[in-house]
Amino acid sequence: MSDIVDVKLAVVGGLPPRTDAPWGPKPGRITPARIGVYAFLVVASLFFLMPFYVMLITSLKPMSEIRLGNLMSLPEVATIQPWIDAWAHACTGVDCNGVQVGLFNSLRILVPSVILSIALGAINGYALSFWRPRGSNLIFAILLLGAFIPYQVYLYPLVRMLSVVGLYNRLPGIVAVHTIFGLPIMTLLFRNYYASLPIDLFKAARVDGGSFWTIFFYLILPMSGPILVVATILQVTGIWNDFLFGLIFAGRENLPMTVLLNNVVNTTTGVREYNVNMAATILTALVPLLVYFVSGRWFVRGIASGAVKG
């Protein structure tokens, strides 16, 4: 099942449409219905693009122009000063170092969290789909349910546990939290992928005397390229976009970019600098957007795999 869905998703994700076989309900002639289809798509596109357009032009206007209230009009005098301010001078409380601090914090959180959660997920998926030791189903069921349960239930005890081991409000603490809560989706992802590999390959390796780790490192891992890409995309965007965990577990020194951005925009005292706010917002969205535009179909595979039947 999973590989069929993967193939379908790959089609949606960016493979060229089939041109040899008839496709879709209608041929491509110019009829009122065709025009209607394009009109709908164009209007929908404008709706989806509008917020980004507004953010972008707002970030390039001086405040004097913004106060005129012409939300959608292009700047008369474009300026990049808001971007410089957002990057280096925007204030959260008493600190006025811009969102650049958050960018570096997010990176410091991101890299170890992504590596750890993928490593654990891959080992889990491998063990659960090929070795199936006692308790496999239980582990999988709990992880699956755990992924859908609101994080609020875990938070307080987790704060206490991390305090006891001295990791609360520290970088290793937030990395641990991301690893913990990335585990369900990572395990699911790798388990489904490995379940689609031919089991005879594994059996042959076992007959040849391959051990758990030998088979993993020399047989399974070299075949995991595609799923590693999907997992990386999923975790990079997911962890970058996280707000809740960063807010609670990262500590003042390590606040990720999303939290810092919200502080810049929503807790400013005095005059609100909308242009700086919008520049900061775009800066925060830049990394996941870059991942999205570069990765294309892989991104779609990633987001859909979370709820795809295995």
What is the residue type of 283? L
Interface with another protein (CB under 8 A), residue total 115
Position among 3, 35, 44, 226 found at the interface with another protein (CB under 8 A): 44
Contact 144, 183 (CB under 8 A): no
Measured CA to CA, the distance from residue 48 to residue 50 in angstroms comes to 6
* Residue 201 is a binding residue for another protein (CB under 8 A): no
- What binding mask, one character per residue, do residues 127-166 give for another protein by CB under 8 A, x or -? xxx-xxxxx-x-xxxxxxxxxxxxxxxxxxxx-xx-----
Q: Is 100 in the site for another protein (CB under 8 A)?
A: no
Residues 206-225 that bind another protein (CB under 8 A): 211-213
Q: Please report, as residue ranges, which positions from 267 to 286 form the binding site for another protein (by CB under 8 A).
A: 274, 277-278, 281, 284-285
User: What is the footprint of another protein within residues 237-256 (CB under 8 A)?
Assistant: 237, 240-244, 248
Q: Residues 90, 174, 189, 291: which binds another protein (CB under 8 A)?
A: 291
Nearer Cβ to another protein (104/243):
243
Residue 78 or 165: the one with the smaller Cβ distance to another protein is: 165
In whole angstroms, the minimum distance from the beta carbon of 38 to another protein comes to 7
